[in-house]
Each structure stands twice: as structure tokens, then as C-alpha cells.
Amino acid sequence: MTDATATPAAAWDALRAVPTPRLTDLFTAEPDRLSRMVIEEAGLRFDFAKTHLTQATLAAFLDLATAQDFAARRDALFAGAAVNGSEGRAAEHVAERGQGAPDSVAAARALHARMRGLIDAIEAEAIGPFRHVLHIGIGGSALGPDLLIDALGDDAGRYDVAVVSNVDGLALERVFRRFDPAATLIVIASKTFTTTETMLNAASALSWLAEHDVEDPYGQVIALTAAPDKAVEWGVDETRVLPFAESVGGRYSLWSSIGFPAALALGWDAFETMLEGAAAMDRHFRLAEPLANAPLLAAFSDLYYAVVRGAETRAVFAYDERLALLPSYLQQLEMESNGKRVTSTGAPLEVPSAPITWGGVGTDAQHAVFQLLHQGTHLVPVEFVAVIEPGDALDEAHHHALLVNCFAQGAALMAGQAHDDPQRAYPGDRPSTTILLDRLDPARLGALLAFYEQRTFANAALLGINPFDQWGVELGKAIARSIAEEGTERFDPSTRALIARALG
Ligand code: F6P
């Protein structure tokens, strides 16, 4: 029974009062646990059975969802309402995959048609010919395309794409060393077209073309932005500007023209299939019953550990080289979205917000950080992501070992092992979730990334925060600007001394 009158505070009190049996006991206490805690959707298997979510916990979370108007918040997201209150706009990444307000879906389709037209022109060598693609962007304007190309690009072999984000000149220089300027397409990706790192890197890339006798450097540039006027003012030809909607947030933008280098490298069909995979996950999130809803159950688990059990971090390990960039992609998605200390109305949060997301690649991480996970004093909910079909053609022993290690870690964290010597004892009862993909293809990757987006949204909705702004990044940018413009007088002695020592 759920309580329709509960407040968020009362729901949290109820959650704190639920007894927490050991994980291993849960399988005896709830004989049908596996069938209830495993969800199969869009070629992905989400296994929440090794978490402490019990029937009683889930009932209390349903009360929290009611108290936070979860269903109405989700409807507002899909309706294209102004869910990003502090910036007075909608968050319409779902429209890019055909879900959402009809006008926004139509605008996204028009953008995709333009992207496709430009890809056709590049492939037909009406522009170019290009062999190399230098994608310049940072944060959400780089992490998504980089992940897609790294995950799915192995067999594509169409263009050699480098993604450069850091303002450290070495990042660009390394690409300059291996790319042919005459055959390089420069892609400038910036929602605002003002980000200092991106604009400096773009200017240096243009100079590199000019210094290598490229006759028309601007003719080799395209721009992906929500500020098309700024791109044109910068010098990009209007026909090579692919403008996406202001209502698509930076870290949610890989479905828009920000995904252009991935669509170029992987082929348009692959990009479209990825959008369809994401749309399937959107539909699941919108329509599935709460207790059979993968992003929502994942959010319940996240919040249970962060709020009720005080876990300050969560770790994601991709047991697949192709998903090596997933943890850093998730760091921006989850921490820039939900690293907040006030609700969307400005009231202080009464419970902790997003945990710190970190992680790595299995099996490498087992030989580096897993010691702490098994025997350290911190509680770290772990997420394993693995793929059934191998990405390699070597002896099957490789993939077999990879998957066996992944599943063994989850089992070991949960079961632990007693020992007379405390240094050799494993306490166990350490939670994990496992996401298993049938295979890694565009549809399943699209569904996986949409799952993470909707899980992030669900976390925010259950906390009452706005996941679509990021005011916290502005102060550092402003201070960097003021050092350049006004000098160092107003700063503290430590900062002044560092600047004097390093920059004179
Ligand atoms: O500084 C944070 C941020 O605004 C991110 O949210 C964004 O993805 C990134 O910078 C890049 O911004 P832009 O696409 O406008 O260059």
C-alpha cells in the first residue's frame, strides 16, 4: 500500500526506518526476487537483485515519488514544459529522438535532415575530400561524440576522427602531427559558441590550416551550435552551420547536431538507429509501471545508498574496452546535472544530492581500486556494465575471462568471506547492479545512454532539484576572465603568488 498523503520528509523517515537485511538473506526472504528485480528492455538486462532494495523499501520510494509529484514532473519533461526553471526553458533532448512536443520533434527532424545532407555532401566530396575530422568542443560538446565513436567506430573505418577538448595546446599539437591539413575537416562544437577553450582551439586549428597553405581554411570548417549567428560572425559559412535548439542542454546534446562527427564516422543509418534505441528507452521510462521501470528503480537504488546509507560515491565499471569512456561521460551527466544544494525553488536540500560518480574499466580496475571496494571502510555501490557478444575476434577465452571476472566481482562483493585473520576477512554485503547488453550496437548504446539520462532525471525529480542548469561552473570561468582582464590585485596571497611564479 502506498501513502498518497506522505510528504518527502515523511517518506525519507519511512525509508530510514525500513530494516536492512543482508543481501544474501534477501534471496531467501523474497523467493521471487530475481524476477522482480531484473528488467529486460531494448536488448539490455538491468539486474538490481544485488541491491538492498526490498519490497518495503520500494513501497516507501513509491510514496516519495508521489510526494514529489514524480509522474507530473516526467509528463512535463516529455511535454516540452519549462522544466529548467532557473533558465526559463524546456529540456528537449527527447524531441531529438522523436519524443516530446510536436513542434520540437519537427524541428529536430529538420535538423537531422540538414545533418544528413551535409554528410552526403562530404561523402560525395562536394566538400573536401576529407580523410581526417578534427572535432573541437568541451564538456557536453565533446564527451558524447567521443564516447559514440570510441564505442562503435572500430569497424567503421570511414574517417579518422580526433576529439580535442582541452585548452592545453599539446592536445591539438598531437593531432596536428598526425593529420593532413589539406584533408582535415574542422568541426567546431559549442552550444554557446563562446566557450573560451573551444574558441581558442578553433582559432589555432584555423591558423594551422592557413600555415599549411590551405587556400580557403574557412571552407573546411563546420559549426554545431545553438548560437548560429555567432558561428557566422566567427567566419563559418551559413550553409555549414548546423543549429540545434536552445532547449537541448549541453550534456544532453549528442542526439542533436553535436553528434555530427559520430554520424559522419559511423554512417547516418547507425546514428538514426541510435536515436531509435534511445526512443525505445524513453517510451519505457514514460510508460512502464514504477516497479518495472529501469531508470526509476536505478534512481531508487542511487537515492537509497546516498540518502539512507550515506554513500558519498558510486562507481561504474565497464567490462568492455569499447565503453572505456562511459565513466567520464557519466561524470558530467550525473554530477553537472545533480550536483546541487538547493531545490528547484531555491530551498536548501534536506538530504544529500548526487553521489560522486567515478569508475573505470574491468578487468584493469580490479588490480587497482577493487581492494577498497572489498575491504575499505567506505560504502560504494558498484555498477557493472558488460556486453554478451564480444567486441574482439581473438580466442573466445578473452571474452569469457572478461565476463567471468565481472560476475565474480559482483558475487564476491555481496557474499564476502569470513576469516579468523581480520586482514583476510571480507565483510561482504556490498551492493552492485549489473547492466548486461546483448551486444554493443547503435540501438543498444542509444538505449543505454537514454537510460542514464532518464535515471539522472528521476534522481532529480525525487529530490525536487533542477538537473538542467549548471550555475556552479560559472564562478571559476568568471575568475579566469577577470585574471586576464583585471590582473591579480583582488586575489588572495596564495593565488597571487602562484600566478606570479608561473606566469610572471
Ligand atoms: O562549463 C560547463 C558547460 O557549460 C557544459 O555544460 C557544456 O557542456 C560545456 O560547458 C561546453 O559548453 P559549450 O557547448 O557552450 O561550448
- For residues 244-269, average pLDDT: 97
Q: Are 40 and 50 in contact (CB under 8 A)?
A: no
Q: Cα(237)–Cα(246) distance, rounded to whole angstroms?
A: 20
Summarize pLDDT for 355-393 with one digit per residue, the tens. Answer: 999 999 999 999 999 999 999 999 999 999 999 999 999
Q: Which set of grid coordinates corresponds to residue 249? A: 542542454
Domains 8-86+277-469 and 101-266 share a fold: yes
Q: Note the pLDDT of residue 157.
A: 67
Q: Note the pLDDT of residue 4.
A: 61
- Annotation: CATH topology of 8-86+277-469: Rossmann fold (3.40.50)
Ligand 1 atom nearest the C-alpha of 137 is 16
Residue nearest ligand 1's atom 2 by CA: 473
What residue segments make up the domains of the chain, in order of their start?
8-86+277-469, 101-266, 473-503
Cα of 195 to ligand 1 centre, how many Å?
7
Q: Cα(357)–Cα(335) distance, rounded to whole angstroms?
A: 7
Q: Cα(94)–Cα(255) distance, rounded to whole angstroms?
A: 9
- Any residues with CB less than 8 A from the CB of 437 and at least 6 apart, and which? 43, 44, 45, 385, 386, 387, 388, 444, 448
Q: Note the pLDDT of residue 3.
A: 62
Q: Cα(274)–Cα(108) distance, rounded to whole angstroms?
A: 15
Task: Return the DSSP state at 414.
Answer: H
Summarize pLDDT for 157-173 with one digit per residue, the tens. Answer: 689 999 999 999 999 99
Q: Does ligand 1 lie within 6 Å of residue 333's CB atom? A: no
Q: Note the pLDDT of residue 484.
A: 76
> Where does the pLDDT of residue 491 fall: very low under 50, low under 70, confident under 90, or very high at 90 and above?
confident
Summarize pLDDT for 177-205 with one digit per residue, the tens. Answer: 999 999 999 999 999 999 999 999 999 99
At 30, is the secondary structure helix, strand, or coil?
Answer: coil
Cα of 238 to ligand 1 centre, how many Å?
22
Q: What is the value of pTM for the model shown? A: 0.97
CA neighbor of 445 nearest in space, from 294, 336, 323: 323
Residue nearest ligand 1's atom 8 by CA: 140
Judged against a pLDDT cut of 60, whether residue 2 lies above it is answered with no
Distances from the Cα of 192 to the Cα of 246, 337, 395, angstroms: 9, 18, 48
Residues annotated as catalytic are 336, 367, 477
Task: Give the mutation target among 93, 136, 141 for probing the ligand 1 site: most ligand atoms within 8 A of CB.
Answer: 141
> Where does the pLDDT of residue 68 fall: very low under 50, low under 70, confident under 90, or very high at 90 and above?
very high
Q: Are 306 and 460 in contact (CB under 8 A)?
A: no
Cα of 190 to ligand 1 centre, how many Å?
7
- CA neighbours closer than 13 Å in the CB half-sphere of residue 38: 14
Q: Note the pLDDT of residue 206.
A: 98
Cα of 329 to ligand 1 centre, how many Å?
13
Q: Note the pLDDT of residue 154.
A: 75
Judged against a pLDDT cut of 90, whether residue 261 lies above it is answered with yes
Residue nearest ligand 1's atom 16 by CA: 190
Cα of 250 to ligand 1 centre, how many Å?
6
At 336, is the secondary structure helix, strand, or coil?
Answer: helix
Task: Give the mutation target among 330, 332, 473 for probing the ligand 1 site: most ligand atoms within 8 A of CB.
Answer: 473
CATH class belonging to 101-266? alpha beta
CA neighbor of 139 nearest in space, from 351, 333, 341, 369: 333
Q: Note the pLDDT of residue 259.
A: 98
- For residues 106-128, average pLDDT: 96
